[in-house]
Structure 1
């Protein structure tokens, strides 16, 4: 009984410590993701600028009209380039959506990055992520919040399991006695 109690206490401490270590990564990962989105946006902005200039001069700024013109051209090079321009425009729009999602409060940004981020950029950020142990107030707050949340979820799960298991055991004993 004593060893079980000690094991349970140390297990909860270990879960709490893991929660802190995971939680302090959140602001750092969000920052690295944001930097990655910014870098990609600057790059795609340069790539699209020439096409946007042409669209501004000849199609009242409508890139879709420029793409349609290229696609409907009798020139095979222009037809081929229509697909390339569409890829650049699509990427630009995806990055624009990500940038607007990242322009919010810290909690909303973290939730977006964890649960709704563009998967291509998220996976790229995960592959390139360098783990850090920042000791600033935001990282510590995130660490404590995640640790408390994970510990609370674990405790509630164990509580519910014990309640359910206890009720099932009680029902079995009542059925056996009747």
Structure 2
């Protein structure tokens, strides 16, 4: 009986963990959008200058700043280069999150921007969504976790002979 309750607790835990996945993906995407909008706004004036003098080429604008004799301009060139790099990084991250759910999850697990991922995790509020994708994630994680733990316990029990009858043990000794 205790074993059945432990299975239920394990299943419930898997369910609750699984329903967090869509919410976390949404939070990460929203945070990414906010940072991306901020980066675009930060570069707005520099884009206008690049458009006016360098046919829209921000790299040419940065190069112009860097070769200037004025140390203030060179310093500003480094600042603009940092903004351009951040904009490109966020743009690439945004495109990576535009795919189907399985690509989004794979990206978050393997190649997500660590700073943004940590920021999202630190600001994440656990929630139980009743959206179809959250229910599907919850049930999938619950079943997978229950199956893996059951498989692990059965394997360990098999290695140590737990659950074998005396006849089976006697047959293997001869």
Pair 1:142 & 2:150 matched:
no
TM-score of the superposed pair, with normalisation by structure 1: 0.84
Q: Is the 8 A contact 1:71 1:79 kept in 2?
A: yes
Name stretches of at least 5 consecutive residues in structure 2 with no aligned partner. Answer: 162-172
Q: Measure the CA separation in 1 of the matches of 2:28 and 2:93.
A: 10
Contact 1:40–1:95 (Cα < 8 Å) also in 2: yes
Within 5 Å, give how 1:86-101 maps onto structure 2: 86-101=81-96
Deviations 1:18-62, CA, capped at 9 Å, x for gaps:
110011111111111111111111110011121122222222322
Distance 1:10 1:116 in 2: 38
- Name 1:58's counterpart in structure 2: 53
Instruction: Indicate the residue corresponding to 1:154 in structure 2.
Output: 149
CA distance in 2, matches of 1:114, 1:129: 16
Number of matched pairs: 163
Deviation (angstroms), 1:153: 1.8
**CA deviation after TM superposition for structure 1 residue 116, in Å:** 2.4
SS in 1 for 2:69: coil
Q: In the alignment, what sits opposite 1:45?
A: 40
TM-score relative to the length of structure 2:
0.85
Alignment pair present for 1:125 and 2:135: no
Find the aligned partners of 2:50 and 2:85 in 1 and give their Cα distance.
Answer: 16
Question: Which ranges of structure 1 fall in alignment gaps of 5 or more residues?
Answer: 1-5, 167-176
Q: 1:74-89, aligned counterparts within 5 Å? A: 74-89=69-84
CA contact (8 A) 1:27 1:110 kept: no
3-state SS, counterpart of residue 98 of structure 2:
coil
Alignment partners' CA distance in 2, 1:69 and 1:112: 36
Distance 2:159 2:89 in 1: 46
**Cα RMSD (Å):** 1.9
